[in-house]
Amino acid sequence: MPDSTTRPEPVAMPAVPPGADVRPPSGPSNLRRELLLRLRLDGPSSPDQLAGRLGASRTGVLQQLRALEAANLVTRQTVRHGVGRPRHLYDVTPDAQDLFPSNYDALASGLLAAIEAVGGDDLLDQVFAARRRQLGDRVREQMADRVGVDAPLLARVRELAVVQADQGYLADATLGSDGTIRLSEHNCAIYNIAKGSPAACQAELELFTEILGADVVRETHIASGDRCCTYKISEH
């Protein structure tokens, strides 16, 4: 968490991480991104300091800092140094963390690899089975609240598509002219994990089967190179 205490002004710019673009911004949205990056790198800074580092006008910097403050992405601290006007220092808030690069996929993949190394495929399958049970309880409760436990299969599939869409899978449900129900996921929200561990996709297939109480057959598979994951769903 950022330190809110007053810090001495840095004598020199800190090293910039590889790939970080610190060129003068060309528009308001770019300026906001650059301000957040500089504050993350440098810590609490005044508008004058930021303007100098970015080669931007103080007025433009101050305007964007106020917008970021209104969005709770930066905080402002008033610091007094003897006589004269107080100085305002800005810094990023915890809410800004999601705007910076993360590596959750690599962490998850690494954990799964470690689990497999410790306990082999059996332990990995147990982990996914436990996760499937957790998700199943939550999804069943949500479906019961929204469509009811006795809702027709199509209504339940449509609600499951909503659940998956909320998780980033870009899912939808369709009813073919021949009466075939399909659930399609146009994005794999766990693609890096799915590529390395077939157990993840098998767990999803079993989850859908359990939740819907129906026959579920996977027809296409993103991790195998297909355009989307498609499931054909029918009554037992």
Residue 217 has pLDDT above 90, yes or no: yes
The 10s digit of each residue's pLDDT in 105-154 is 777 777 888 887 888 888 888 888 888 888 899 999 999 999 988 999 99
Average of per-residue pLDDT across 151-168: 94
User: Distance between CA atoms of 22 and 4, rounded to whole angstroms?
Assistant: 24
Assess whether pLDDT exceeds 50 at residue 2: no
Closest CA to 234 of 183, 164, 171, 170: 183
Mean pLDDT for all residues in the chain: 84
Mean pLDDT value of segment 34-63: 93
% pLDDT > 70, the chain: 87
107 or 27, higher pLDDT? 107
What is the token pair recorded at 122?
Answer: 């059996």
CA angle 65, 40, 86 (to 5 degrees): 50
Could you tell me the two tokens for 172? 């939808």
> pTM higher than 0.85 for the full model?
no
Q: What is the pLDDT of residue 102?
A: 67
E strands, 132-195, are 171-175, 181-185
Cβ proximity of 176 and 217 under 8 Å? no
Closest among 201, 165, 210, 202 to 183, alpha carbons compared: 165
User: Does position 27 have pLDDT exceeding 70, yes or no?
Assistant: no
CATH of domain 28-99: 1.10.10.10
CA 34-39-40 angle, to 5 degrees, is: 100
For the chain, give every residue range classified as CATH 1.10.10.10.
28-99
The CATH number given to 104-234 is 3.30.1380.20
State yes or no: pLDDT of 14 exceeds 50: no
Q: Which of the pair, 199 or 217, is modelled with greater confidence? A: 217
Say whether pLDDT at 174 is over 90. Answer: yes
Rg (CA), the chain: 25
Comma-separated ranges of CATH 3.30.1380.20 domains in the chain = 104-234
